[in-house]
Amino acid sequence: MSLHARAKFLLVVSIIFGIYSLLWALAPFPTVNFPARLILDAADWPIDNLSATLDKNTMFLSAIGAGLLAAISIFLGKIVVPAIKQRNKSIINTTILAMCVWYTIDGIGSIAAGVSTNVVFNSVYLILVLIPLVGINENKT
């Protein structure tokens, strides 16, 4: 995959993460939080709890998680995408490390909380980020 294709791929992923974070951020607003309830219920598959009202802790933690995901989206789009174009191995390797640390902590916590299906979703997100980052050849354009 060319550097241009890798950068474009990750930019699309960052936009998807940004949209996802905005939908998740609706959790604290009961009149419009259906997208957030769908996201949360899907993470704890099967979808069987859509009509339930979100409790205060779920709304609070969703706001935090959505804010962090939005920050990751901006980081990927505005720092990592240009780093791919410049073959900046330091930023690329740091991003790979950061995403693997997130995946490990989130996965272990999800399993401990009894929501192991979240690991499946997180695996998809991790793969989407790693595809354009892994295997960049320093001599290939």
pLDDT at 134 over 90: yes
pLDDT of residue 51: 82
| Mean pLDDT, residues 123-132 | 97
Single pTM value for the model: 0.89
The alpha carbon of residue 90 and the mean position of all alpha carbons in its chain are separated, in whole angstroms, by: 21
Mean pLDDT of 94-99: 98
Residue type, 26: L
What was the pLDDT predicted at 95? 98
Going from N- to C-terminal start, the domains of the chain cover 3-133
pLDDT of residue 16: 97
pLDDT digits 0-9 by tens, 9-62: 999 999 999 999 999 999 999 999 999 999 999 988 888 888 889 999 999 999
pLDDT tens-digit series, residues 109-126: 999 999 999 999 999 999
CA 85 to each of CA 99, 114, 133: distance values in angstroms, whole numbers, following the listed order? 19, 40, 11
- Determine the Cα–Cα distance for residues 9 and 34; give it in Å rounded to an integer: 29
How high is the pLDDT of residue 46?
A: 86
Band of pLDDT at residue 91, cut at 50, 70 and 90: very high
Closest CA to 62 of 54, 51, 52: 54
Give the separation between CA 112 and CA 125, rounded to whole angstroms: 20
| Contacts of 71-74 spanning 24+ positions with Cβ under 8 A | 72/17, 73/14, 73/15, 73/17, 73/18, 73/21, 74/14, 74/18
Residue 138 has a pLDDT of 62
pLDDT-based confidence at residue 140 (cuts at 50, 70, 90): low
